Amino acid sequence: MKSRFVGYYRPNDAEFKALWDQCLFVPDTNVLLHLFRYGENTRNQVFETFNAFKSRLWIPYQVGLEFHRRWREIDYKNRSAYKDLTDKLTTAGNSMKALFNDYNRHQLIDADAEKAAIDKFISERCRRLEELSNQHPNPDDALGILNRISDLIGDQVGERLTEKELEAIYKEGESRYKRKIPPGFRDASKQDADVYGDLVIWKAMLSKAKADQCPIIFVTDDLKDDWWHEFKGEKVGPRPELLEEFRWETGQSFYMYSLGSFIEQAGNYLNKVIDESAIKEIEEDESAQKASISLEKHLDDVLAQEDMNNNLRDFYLGIIAKNNPDIIWNDSYFSEAKDLKNFRWAWNEHLNNKQMLDTHRAALDNELLFLEHREAVLQSELAQWTPQKGKLSFDAIWKELNSIRQRISLIRHKK
């Protein structure tokens, strides 16, 4: 059975050993860019580890392109962080001091003393930032890092794709992203060709493994769930779809590591001691990325729900307009739904979701049934609404309907 469902099985020790003995190691763009962010000890540890596999390093052309487009931006952001923080601290300090302006005659609060204490705290922090700024590597040091990365990779770079080849990948990507086929579908909100950057990298790795008949280990700090298989919020390995596609397309094995995990596993493989402080810095950076990704996913969910609510409102207003053809609608009353066919499909999917919920949460069923009945009544009222009942009547019905949907959504989530 394992051979039929290869994506769902973690390699055993012997398979990992064979993988590490034979594979190409492919660092992602973000891993190379991290070398401009890390402290010197961590940076040296990463270089030392990759140098141990230098003859088996390789990057797709897309990785090299993204790296060269972005490294100056990363270096500038690091260099300007001190001034940015100083400006923000100064602004925050002024805001804090302003809080005491209304208490200049308070019997116990010494507003001037408190303001002076705030000034002292902010000044100390700004002075510390100035000291760190003076210690920051100069632009020549950044060029030195660039040259070290260039020497590390050497000529082990994939071929540049033609415009025709890229257009074919973009067209495939459009179809894959709609069906949530990894990798890259989480980048759908990006602009222009950057949307399909991950897919271009993936296709390049498939071509390389097939041409050279070798497995690949991909080292990436892209922690989104369009690369990683997650269970209860924890990464358990590469997406099964990726492992299976790689095997089907190339006949070879594929595996992925975050940079921190790769450095640790490389230490075991090479039987070398790894600098614990370097691992700590890398893991702290990964934790910050996880928090950022979690927030982005939450915001995506909120925006998706807001878009659905707006589409629903437009849909019902569209029904009202058709039932009242003599009415000239103001934009504040009505904006026609642009794609009713797709909307109806999405709405039916939304209603049918309850069939996929966990039935053991039966305690919520009675409330759900009542709310759905009330929802249907309100939908009918909206569809039959006329201006004679007044705009406030419409808004009141819509507000209650939206509130009920939020409660239904919460119940379904709990179940």
Q: Would you state the pLDDT for residue 370?
A: 63
Q: Would you state the pLDDT for residue 145?
A: 95
Kindly report each contact of residues 257-262 with a partner whose C-beta sits within 8 Å and lies 24 or more positions away, as own/partner.
257/217, 257/218, 257/219, 257/220, 258/219, 258/220, 258/221, 258/223, 258/286, 259/31, 259/34, 259/46, 259/219, 259/220, 259/221, 259/286, 260/286, 262/49, 262/217, 262/219
Rounded-to-integer distance, Cα 288 and Cα 217, Å = 24
State pTM to two decimals: 0.68
Asked if residue 171 has pLDDT above 90, the reply is yes
Read off the pLDDT band of 357 (50, 70, 90).
Answer: very low
List the helix and strand counts (H, then E) for the chain: 14, 5
Q: How far is CA 253 from the centre of its chain?
A: 26
Asked if residue 362 has pLDDT above 50, the reply is no
Q: How far is CA 181 from CA 26, 72, 215, 224, in A?
A: 22, 32, 22, 13
Asked if residue 288 has pLDDT above 50, the reply is yes
Rounded mean pLDDT, 362-386: 63
The DSSP element (H or E) to which 230 belongs, if any, is strand 228-231
**Structure-token pair, residue 13:** 């020790």
Q: Would you state the pLDDT for residue 302?
A: 46
Instruction: Mark out the alpha helices in 136-234 (DSSP H runs).
Output: 139-153, 163-178, 197-212
Burial of 208 (0-12, 13-18, 19+ CB in 10 A): buried
Q: Would you state the pLDDT for residue 26?
A: 98
Give the pairing type, strands 254-257 and 24-27.
unpaired
Q: Would you state the pLDDT for residue 238?
A: 95
Rounded mean pLDDT, 102-121: 87
Asked if residue 3 has pLDDT above 60, the reply is yes
More confident residue, 360 or 167: 167
Q: Would you state the pLDDT for residue 251?
A: 94
Q: Would you state the pLDDT for residue 216?
A: 98
Read off the pLDDT band of 331 (50, 70, 90).
Answer: very low
Q: Would you state the pLDDT for residue 213?
A: 96
Please state the φ and ψ torsions of residue 297, each to the nearest 5 degrees: -65, -40
Q: Would you state the pLDDT for residue 394?
A: 62
Strand-pair partners of 237: 229
Rounded mean pLDDT, 46-56: 97
Over residues 198-230, the pLDDT tens digits come to: 999 999 999 999 999 999 999 999 988 899 998
In whole numbers, what is the pLDDT of the chain averaged over residues?
Answer: 80
